[in-house]
Structure 1
């Protein structure tokens, strides 16, 4: 059994406590895409970051909204983009995996509020689709994020990866060779 969300928050707020698992936005995204992928990543089994899909996403992120956002790193592991309006922005190539992107942004908003006492709203942007969506942290989304945190902590604490589960995007996943060998 992993730690509770309250224990996680307490450890994050106190640098001397150094939480065993430091959750990142990418971990939240992976949790909602594929828990097996999250487990591999938590073991430092990483993907090739030079693939076309990864580079395309990086290019869209780096070239969109250049004049209206600034990037900040929080606690050495969370990279936030802040719009001129003060909203936190998450940029994605496509809305195909909308829930993981939304949850990643909600995690950033939750982290700012719970760990640093900073209240912000968010914007989820898909520049190639020319769409943006406002995202806010409320009671319902807070409960979803806290359930996600518990799920992540349980997943990474497990001795073995979650069961193999065929999903529509497995064929384009960069972990497919590990999963399906």
Structure 2
């Protein structure tokens, strides 16, 4: 199974959600938060679909890529999982590099917060990426679901009812 940017994002949020998602247990369709995020993604920059391209490399889909400036644009609803968002963009940049596109950068955008952040891929990021990908592969290949996280973020998660059904 190819590792996607969603896998990298979820790895930085919750290993259990990563495993469930990879094993086709999907709860996003029940989440108002996910729906709001999709709406923001689709409406925040309506002209973007005309100006930028969607590309797929090695099974990784980048929604908004500016090939002239070599910039990946990623839109998120909230910065509560910012580390995961940054990891996702860095993975995009890593995949671009692996496919011969050097010097690409990313822009992480939180339209409702009016925050943008430029993202680059550093040598440290590249070595961390190898660790992330190894750990993600271990989780994806595991026969058992990782344990509950028991973190504040769980209360807003689309898998909350699934994970805490017995409690």
TM-score range with shorter-chain normalisation? Answer: 0.7 to 0.9
Offset at residue 154 of structure 1 (A): 0.6
The reply on whether 1:66 has 2:49 as its aligned counterpart is: no
The reply on whether 1:127 has 2:111 as its aligned counterpart is: yes
For structure 1, the 5+ residue unaligned runs are: 1-20
The reply on whether 1:117 has 2:97 as its aligned counterpart is: no
- Taking the TM superposition and a 5 Å limit, the aligned residue runs for 1:7-22 are 21-22=1-2
Residue 161 of structure 2: aligned partner: 177
Residue 33 of structure 2: aligned partner: 53
The reply on whether 1:162 has 2:146 as its aligned counterpart is: yes
- The separation in 1 between residues aligned to 2:22 and 2:2, in whole angstroms, is 10
The reply on whether 1:32 has 2:32 as its aligned counterpart is: no
- The separation in 2 between residues aligned to 1:63 and 1:32, in whole angstroms, is 26
Q: Greater shift after overlay, 64-73 or 141-150? A: 64-73
- The separation in 1 between residues aligned to 2:55 and 2:10, in whole angstroms, is 20
Offset at residue 86 of structure 1 (A): 3.1
TM-score, normalised to structure 2, is 0.88
Residue 16 of structure 1: aligned partner: none
- The separation in 1 between residues aligned to 2:5 and 2:137, in whole angstroms, is 13
For structure 2, the 5+ residue unaligned runs are: none
Instruction: Specify the SS of the correspondent of 1:134.
Output: strand
1:66-118 deviation line (CA, Å, top 9, x unaligned): 3355241304541331247431111101111100000000001101111x111
Residue 88 of structure 2: aligned partner: 104
Offset at residue 166 of structure 1 (A): 0.1
Offset at residue 147 of structure 1 (A): 1.4
Cα distance change of structure 1 residues 71 and 91 upon mapping to structure 2, 3 Å threshold: same
Residue 78 of structure 1: aligned partner: 61
The reply on whether 1:138 has 2:122 as its aligned counterpart is: yes
TM-score, normalised to structure 1, is 0.81
- The separation in 1 between residues aligned to 2:110 and 2:136, in whole angstroms, is 26
- The separation in 2 between residues aligned to 1:140 and 1:80, in whole angstroms, is 26
